[in-house]
Amino acid sequence: MVTEKSAIFIIFGGSGDLAHRKLYPSLFRLYKSGILKDHFAVIGTARRPWSDDYFRETVITSLKDYFDDSEDIMKGFAKHFFYQSHDVNDSEHYIALKNLAAKLDDQFEAGHNRVYYMAIAPRFFGTVAEHINSEGLKTEDGYNRLVIEKPFGRDLDSACELNGNISKAFPEDDIYRIDHYLGKEMIQDIPHIRANNPKLEAAMNNKYVSNIQITLAESLGVEDRGGYYETAGVLRDMVQNHIMQIIGAIASDDPEATDAKIIHKNKTDLFSSLKELTPEGVDDDFVRGQYDTDQLGEEKAYRQEDNVAEDSNIETFVAGNIQFDTERWSGVPFYVRSGKRMPEKSSRIDIVFNDKVDEVGIKPNTVITLLIERVNGNSILINGINYKESGQDFISFPEEAEFDKAREAYESLIIDILSGNRVHFTLWDELRSTWKYIDTIRNRWDEQTPDFPNYLSGSMGPDAAEILLERNGNSWVWDD
Ligand SMILES: NC(=O)c1ccc[n+]([C@@H]2O[C@H](COP(=O)([O-])OP(=O)(O)OC[C@H]3O[C@@H](n4cnc5c(N)ncnc54)[C@H](OP(=O)(O)O)[C@@H]3O)[C@@H](O)[C@H]2O)c1
């Protein structure tokens, strides 16, 4: 049964790309499913002086890219949308937002609940959070939840500073830090798959796992995001957050836990057990790359992209061997890899078992592959274990199985926000550990000049990424 939720959403950056491509379509899906119905309103805010009507038109135009519902349904949805011109630094504007939110709360009977969504540049996160607090936007008798997009800082120091700023304004329990990979059904299913497949769970440790491989590959280059990429690089953009969180889903203890506090504690414990990296260890265990043109010389090299320096040393590819000092995982390499301009888009987890795993009833050297995302929506492929299909009991697949998954990550995360469920959001303690680890790699790389570009567009990355595994007698399961 669908339970209707009530809230006033205030979307900072309401005219931006994320809002139009992800948030409004997800809110529309929730509207169509009845989770959002009569008791909600969305205030979009940004500097440009739009009218409510114009804002609604832009929302409907975005929806048309994803849905073929009737104009009437879209207009009914858009009636819940309001626009307030606003500059994040202007205190007066927050008063106007507060008054509009209060008015809409009365009109839609939204229960004094507020979702403050930061779909705005990260440098504004702290300012906005402080003003929400100081200008009295928070309600007394509803909830007040702050949603923060990535990136959460660009290193440990800046993440600490940001966290300090938002923590002054919101208690940790009201902060929802988005890592949209945690909204993907595949990632959310991993603990269930483990918990409900006793054979698999018995094998998920250093006695039986040879290595675990996580690949987040893109076929595209940086496209029009060269300016952003120059300040980030794939290490910060993909490893610190998405790849680490995927590892958290696969490798945390106690997959049967359902309590958010226990789940977070398990993940925090795992990340605080990241095996300490020395600068020399970075040279051994991490490889970076930057794409060149392709074999025919037709594609732009990274250094030829718009807003990218001609001598840029920013990495567009990373591969690494991450290890944990825990009883369960000590000695097991978690090979991670992410890159632009790889042969195809692929997000996958490969769990490679060793030749002793038949002791727990799994064929020796079995590889279990979870496909997190495919071009045509989400899908999963599992070899030889029980798997739960949405809404069904566990069923056994002796060979391979593939499913399409319907729910968009943002849709699922917004439901969680409205329900007060923080399981699929990242906590500060997790971020502190992962940033500390990433900083060691970044600092080492910043001391050295790489020999870039070092891989062709359309290839699997630099040769060193293959050698990284070969050194230990392993190889990538996904190879072109
Ligand atoms: N786009 C994505 O797919 C994506 C994915 C993951 C995370 N994110 C994160 O989501 C956030 C938004 O990204 P985006 O791509 O949507 O950015 P964007 O398209 O550049 O939108 C930025 C928004 O902020 C508003 N804005 C800028 N300066 C402002 C100010 N001083 N006061 C008030 N509003 C201001 C802009 O409107 P005005 O110019 O009219 O003020 C616009 O609505 C960023 O933190 C980004 O890292 C985005």
Would you say 17 is a known binding-site residue? no
Tens digit of pLDDT for each residue in 139-174? 999 999 999 998 999 999 999 999 999 999 999 999
Would you say 20 is a known binding-site residue? no
Is the pLDDT at 374 greater than 80? The verdict is no
Task: Name which of 149-153, 444-448, 473-477 the model is least confident about.
Answer: 149-153
- What whole-number distance in Å separates Cα of residue 474 and Cα of residue 464? 13
pLDDT of residue 34: 96
DSSP-derived letter for residue 38 is E
- What whole-number distance in Å separates Cα of residue 405 and Cα of residue 415? 17
Is 242 among the residues known to form the active site? Answer: yes
Residues whose CB is less than 8 angstroms from the CB of residue 144 and which lie 6 or more positions away in sequence, other chains included: 113, 114, 116, 132, 137, 138, 170, 174
Percentage of residues of the chain with pLDDT beyond 70 = 93
Tens digit of pLDDT for each residue in 235-276? 999 999 999 999 999 999 998 898 899 999 999 999 999 999
Query: Closest ligand 1 atom, CA of 20?
Result: 16
Query: Closest ligand 1 atom, CA of 180?
Result: 6
CB 26 within 8 A of CB 36: no
Tens digit of pLDDT for each residue in 16-26? 999 999 999 99
Is the pLDDT at 385 greater than 60? The verdict is no
pLDDT of residue 368: 86
Q: What's the mean per-residue pLDDT of the chain?
A: 92
Q: Which domains does the chain have, with CATH numbers?
A: 5-149 (3.40.50.720), 181-470 (3.30.360.10)
Would you say 180 is a known binding-site residue? yes
Q: In this predicted model, which residue has the larger pLDDT, 441 or 359? A: 441
C-beta of 252 in contact with ligand 1 (< 6 A): no
Centroid of ligand 1 to alpha carbon of 12 (angstroms): 8
C-beta of 122 in contact with ligand 1 (< 6 A): yes
Q: Which of 147-151, 335-339, 475-479 has the highest mean pLDDT?
A: 335-339
